[in-house]
């Protein structure tokens, strides 16, 4: 279990369209719910249903002492482990999913 003392975190956000977004938050903010670009893609998927929906934030990893490079590496690892970079599962654009055509 993680506490507010775990300032740097990597979280998985689950959205009502079934997609996930894995991201890092270096401030431990309660209100972090994904990157602006991920939120825009989610809003587009939800269409007119954006006036009321539920998203779930799950902290996967936290540290009070990690340096930013370590947080980025943990984020990258968690993106791959959860499949959040697979367009059928998640909205993370990097690292590129092996099945992606670009």
Query: Average pLDDT in the 63-91 region?
Result: 95
Query: Average pLDDT in the 86-99 region?
Result: 90
The per-residue pLDDT for range 22-54, each reduced to its tens digit, is 999 988 777 777 777 777 777 777 776 666 778
What's the token pair of residue 46?
A: 């939800």
Q: Could you tell me if residue 93 is inside a domain?
A: no
Residue among 61, 70, 53, 60 at smallest CA distance from 19: 53
Domain housing 18: 8-82
Q: Could you tell me if residue 54 is inside a domain?
A: yes
Q: Could you tell me if residue 39 is inside a domain?
A: yes
The per-residue pLDDT for range 11-23, each reduced to its tens digit, is 999 988 888 999 9
CA–CA gap between residue 66 and residue 6 (Å, rounded): 10
Q: Could you tell me if residue 92 is inside a domain?
A: no
State the CB neighbour count (10 A cutoff) for residue 6: 16
């Amino acid at each position: 279990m993680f506490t507010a003392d775990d300032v740097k975190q990597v979280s998985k956000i689950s959205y009502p369209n079934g997609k996930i977004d894995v991201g890092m938050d270096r401030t431990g903010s309660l209100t972090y719910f994904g990157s602006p670009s991920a939120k825009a893609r989610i809003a587009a998927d939800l269409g007119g249903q954006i006036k009321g929906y539920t998203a779930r934030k799950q902290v996967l990893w936290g540290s009070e002492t990690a340096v930013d490079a370590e947080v980025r590496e943990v984020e990258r690892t968690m993106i791959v482990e959860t499949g959040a970079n697979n367009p059928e599962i998640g909205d993370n654009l990097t690292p590129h999913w092996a099945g992606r055509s670009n």
